[in-house]
Amino acid sequence: MTKLVTQLIQGTNGTDDRNTGAVVPPLYFATAFRHPGLGASTGYDYARLETPTRALLEKQLNLLEGGAAALAVSSGMAAIDLVFSTFTQTGDHFIASDDLYGGSFRYFDRRQAQYHVNYDTWDGRDIAQLIQALRPETKLIWLESPSNPTMKLIDLEAVATAVHAVRPNILVAVDNTFLTPIYQRPLTLGADLVVHSATKYLGGHNDILAGAVVARTAALAEALQAQLTTTGQTLDPFSAWLLLRSLKTLKVRMAAHTENAQFLVAHLPHLTAITKLLYAGVGGMISFYLAPEVAVDAFLRGLKVCSFAESLGSVETLVTVPDVQTHHDMPEAQRRALGITPQLIRVSVGLEDAEDLLADLTQAIAGAQPKED
Ligand SMILES: *Cc1c(COP(=O)(O)O)cnc(C)c1O
């Protein structure tokens, strides 16, 4: 078999069953598919179950993560919901790493309030402590690494090995949105499920809302598919087609995101107005603390190349203030304990010229500092 990048670029070609010779796959909008006869099917029956375009995307997503099967859904939150609605029920318990996408916490709190699926958090470091926190009714471990927004790293392989050694049936699920399978493939490290907000790096252009779940085993994938067919939060054909296109450049985009982020990590700390910078070493996500005297609102208003906007993973650089945006639903005490302060800035480093990005951040910070007398 050819290598991954070749598969991503060539793997869906030649799939047009009308033999037009088109070098990219067609986009099928059909929601209904003719049956050849009673009890017979082309493999496609009705769009909620599967569509030809979504099927191609799912093949590529699965290839990327190295699983048994992938499911493409309508958003990252739909992917998270698919996992929890498939594998947990009232009375169950799960454990989540403590520094997560804010929307995941909002979802967990609702799940707890509405269905009594209870959860505890874990700091992502002490695995013995995690094992101790397991209960008979624990069904799932939910991890995000590097964490959001403070970039803590979790040893996914050590967690999966330790959990499965004591309780083989507990599912280890990883939100792999930040690093993508280009830098981290949780299923190959022993995780059971991988979730993506494909709205972020997989899509990469701030124009697709999508999500994905990839399962390590066929049995897990079948359970997810049965739930998805029932609830219907599938990905529409056009988004699936766009996402297929995005995946072809995932590897070069990730390399370029890393290069730009590393450039900023090398140069931003020279600014005295930045007190601390956080970076996982690869990928395009960095966070930094502005000194107390820097006015955050003035900094955001002063940006000219970067946009103050709430997302990540795209070719456009976006700047976020987690304390008031992505993580605002988290109780203040918890935010402070995690290091999410009003001066914490998260930058999703895009693919603009790195020197332009540095110059923009530098001038916006300078403009937000008190004037010297
Ligand atoms: C954005 C995001 C989500 C939610 O995805 P949507 O596509 O916005 O629904 C989940 N996890 C992480 C890490 C995210 O960044």
Q: Which of 248, 282, 316 is the last residue in one of the domains?
A: 248
State the CATH number of the domain containing residue 105. 3.40.640.10
- Are both 137 and 267 inside the same structural domain? no
Report how far ligand 1's centroid is from the alpha carbon of 272 (Å).
Answer: 32
- Residues 67, 212, single domain; the answer is yes
- On whether the CB atoms of residues 103 and 57 are closer than 8 A, the answer is no
> Which of 219, 248, 277 delimits the end of a domain?
248
Residue span of the structural domain in which 324 resides: 251-367
Boundary (domain end) residue, out of 202, 227, 248:
248
DSSP H helical ranges for 11-155: 52-65, 76-87, 102-115, 127-133
Determine whether 155 is an active site residue.
no
Predicted TM-score (pTM) of the model is 0.96
- CA gap 56, 169 in Å, rounded: 30
Measured between alpha carbons, how far apart are the two ends of the chain, in Å?
67
164 and 261: one domain?
no
Q: Are residues 183 and 321 in contact, defined by beta-carbon separation less than 8 angstroms? A: no
* Shared-domain flag, residues 17 and 97: yes
The torsion angles phi and psi of 355, rounded to 5 degrees, stand at -70, -35
Q: Is 346 exposed, middle or buried (0-12, 13-18, 19+ CB in 10 A)?
A: buried
Token pair of 114 as six digits? 């509405």
Whether residue 269 is contained in a domain is answered as: yes
The amino acid at residue 230 is T
Per-residue pLDDT of the chain (373 residues; tens, 9 = 90+): 689 999 999 988 877 767 788 889 999 999 999 999 999 999 999 999 999 999 999 999 999 999 999 999 999 999 999 999 999 999 999 999 998 898 999 999 999 999 999 999 999 999 999 999 999 999 999 999 998 888 899 999 999 999 999 999 999 999 999 999 999 999 999 999 999 999 999 999 999 999 999 999 999 999 999 999 999 999 999 999 999 999 999 999 999 999 999 999 999 999 999 999 999 999 999 999 999 999 999 999 999 999 999 999 999 999 999 999 888 888 899 899 989 999 999 999 999 999 999 999 999 999 999 876 5
State how many domains the chain has: 2
Q: Is 373 a member of any domain? A: no
Mark whether 197 and 265 lie in a shared domain.
Answer: no
The DSSP line for 296-364 is: HHHHHHH-SSSEE-S--SSSS-EEE-TTTTTTTTS-HHHHHHHT--TTEEEEE--SS-HHHHHHHHHHH
Q: Are residue 48 and residue 105 in the same domain, yes or no?
A: yes
Residue 372 maps to a domain: no
Clarify whether 200 is annotated catalytic.
yes
- Nearest residue CA, atom 1 of ligand 1? 197
Nearest residue (by CA) to ligand 1, atom 5, is 76
In a shared domain, residues 150 and 191? yes
